[in-house]
Amino acid sequence: MSTQRMTLAKALTSGMTRALERDPKTMLLGEDIGKLGGVYRITEGLQARFGADRIVDTPLAESGIIGTSIGLALRGRKPVAEIQFDGFVFPGFNQITTQLAKMHMRSEGHVNLPVTIRIPYGGGIGSVEHHSESPEALFAHTAGLRIMSPSTPNDAYWMIQEAISSPDPVIFFEPKRRYWLKGEVDLDHPAAPTDKAQIVRPGTDATVVAWGPLVPVALAAAQASVEDGREVEVIDLRSLSPVDFDTVTESVQRTGRLVIAHEAPTFGGLGGEIAARVTERAFYSLQAPVLRVGGYHMPYPPSKVEAQYLPDIDRILDALDRSFDY
C-alpha cells in the first residue's frame, strides 16, 4: 500500500493528474488555470505537462465556461470546469440548472453530460465580497446533479477522480480554508464509496453531522465535549446529493440527539432537509429536537467580522448543551 502525506490542495492536483493520465478525453477549463495554475494553484504545472488544448484558459465568463463544458460533453469529452470563486458561479447558474442538470431526463436517458464543476467555497480566509459563500443548497434543490464536498486530503484525492469519471454532472465543492490541511492519502484504495457518509468519530450520546470546512470544527467540539462526560459521534456527510440518510438515521437511533452544522445560512439550508428526514425516520428515537448551527440569514459579512458569522466550536457546543437540556 502506498501512502503519502499531502495537503488537500495537493491531493486535488494529484487526483486530477491521475484522471488526465487515465483518459485523454478528460480536460480542464477555467479562468487563469493554465500558466498561473489557478488562484489557489490547484492546477499548477498541469498545462505544461498536458498541453494548452487540455488545460484551457478561458475568458472571464462563467456562463461561457459552463456552456462550453456542456458542448464539449456532448461531443464526447469529459470537461472539468473551475469556477474561480463560489460567488462567481451565479452567472452560470442558469446553464447548470436548466441545461446541465436536465439534459439526461430531457433526452429520455440517451444523453449523458459527464461535466464536473469545481467550486472553492466557504469562508474563513479573509476574502472580500462574493468570495466566501456556501451555495450548496441551491444546487441540492436541483434534481439531476450530484454534489460532493471532501473534508480530508484522502477524500479529495479519490472523490475528484470519481466525480470526473461519473456519467452524471457533478458539482464539486472544495472547502477553500482547508486547502492547506495536511493528511495521509492512500494512493491505492479509497476510504469509502463517495455516496456514503463516514463516521469520523464514534460516540454514544449525540450525533453531529457536518461536511466540508466544518468537519474539523465538529471534531474539535466533540473532543471538547469529553470534559462534560459526553461522547459525541461526528459524521462527515461527504455527498450532499444524494444524501446518505441511512448512516445518519442509524447513528441518531443509537445516540438520540442530532446537531447539524454548516457554514451556509441556517434558513433554507441543507440542514433543514436533513433534520426533516431524520425526524420522519427516527422520531421515536429522538430525545430532543434536531438542532441546526449555521450562518446567519444575511449576506456574508466583511472579513473583519466573519469570525462572528461562521459557526465555531462554541456554537456547536451550545447546541449540544441545548439538546441535553430537553
Q: Which three cell numbers stand for residue 161?
A: 477522480
Q: Which residue in 116, 123, 120 sits closest to 96, CA to CA?
A: 116
130 is catalytic: no
How far is it, in rounded angstroms, from Cα 259 to Cα 289? 9
The kind and range of the H/E element at 198 are strand 198-201
**Backbone angle region of 167, left / alpha / beta, with phi > 0 → left and psi within -120 to 50 → alpha:** alpha
Bond from prior residue into 167 cis (ω within 30 degrees of 0): no
Give me the sign of the Cα torsion angle 84, 218, 234, 315.
negative
Which listed residue (104, 131, 141, 297) is catalytic? Answer: 131
For residue 166, give Cα distances in angstroms to 115, 170, 173, 176, 269: 8, 8, 16, 23, 26
Please enumerate in sequence order all residues whose Cβ is within 8 A of that of 286, keeping only pairs 6 or more positions apart, or say none: 252, 256, 257, 258, 278, 279
Instruction: Classify residue 209 by its DSSP letter.
Output: E
The residues assigned a catalytic role are 131
